[in-house]
Amino acid sequence: MAANKREKFGGRLAVILAMAGSAIGLGNIWRFPYMVGEHGGAAFVVVYVIATLLISLPVFLSEVMVGRRSHTNARDAFARLSRHHPFWKGAGYLTIVIPTLIACYYSVIGGWSVEYFLKSCSAAFIHTTPEGASALFGSFVSDTWTPVLMHLLFLGLTVLVVAGGVKSGIEKFSKVTLPVLFVLILVILVYSVSLPGAGEGVRYLLHPDWSELTPRTFAYAMGQSFYSLSLGMGAIITYGSYVSKKENILVTSAGTAVSDLLFAIMAGFAIMPAVFAAGIEPGAGPGLIFQSIPYVFAKMGVDLPVLSSLVAVIFFLSIIVAAMTSCISLVEVGVSFLMERAGMTRVRACLLLYLICGGLGTLCSLSFGPLADVRVAGMSIFDLFDWVCSNILLLLMGLLVVIFVGWILPRRVVHDEFTNRGSIAFNDRIFPVFWFLIKWVAPIAVLIIFFTNFIL
CA–CA distance, 171 with 86 (Å, rounded to integer)? 34
Task: Render each residue's pLDDT in the chain as its tens digit; 456 residues.
Answer: 344 456 677 666 777 777 777 777 777 887 888 888 888 889 999 999 999 999 999 999 999 999 999 999 999 999 999 988 999 999 999 999 999 999 999 999 999 999 999 998 887 877 777 778 888 889 999 999 999 999 999 999 999 989 988 666 666 776 777 787 788 788 888 888 988 889 999 999 999 988 888 888 888 888 889 888 989 999 999 889 988 889 999 999 998 899 899 989 998 998 888 888 877 777 666 677 787 778 777 776 666 677 777 878 877 887 888 788 889 889 999 999 999 999 999 999 999 999 999 999 999 999 999 999 999 999 999 999 988 998 889 889 999 999 999 999 999 999 999 999 999 999 999 999 999 999 999 999 889 888 887 776
Q: Which domains does the chain have, with CATH numbers?
A: 3-455 (1.10.4160.10)
**Can you tell me the distance from the alpha carbon of 237 to that of 280, in angstroms, rounded to the nearest whole number?**
39
- Cβ atoms of residues 166 and 4 within 8 Å: no
Alpha helices in 279-304 (DSSP H): 288-303
What distance in Å separates the CA atoms of residue 419 and residue 213, rounded to the nearest whole number? 38
Alpha carbon distance 36, 255 (integer Å): 23
* pLDDT at residue number 171: 64
Spatial neighbors of 304 by CB under 8 A, at least 6 apart, are none
Identify the three-state secondary structure at position 167.
helix
> How many Å from the N-terminal Cα to the C-terminal Cα in the chain?
47
Tell me phi and psi for residue 12, to 5 degrees. Answer: -60, -45
Measure the CA–CA gap between 153 and 147, rounded to whole angstroms.
10
Torsion of CA 419, 425, 427, 432, to 10 degrees: 100
> At residue 258, what is the residue type?
V
Q: Which CA distances in Å does 405 have to 43, 157, 453?
A: 31, 35, 25
Predicted local confidence at residue 285, as pLDDT: 67
Q: How many CB atoms lie within 10 A of CB 4?
A: 6
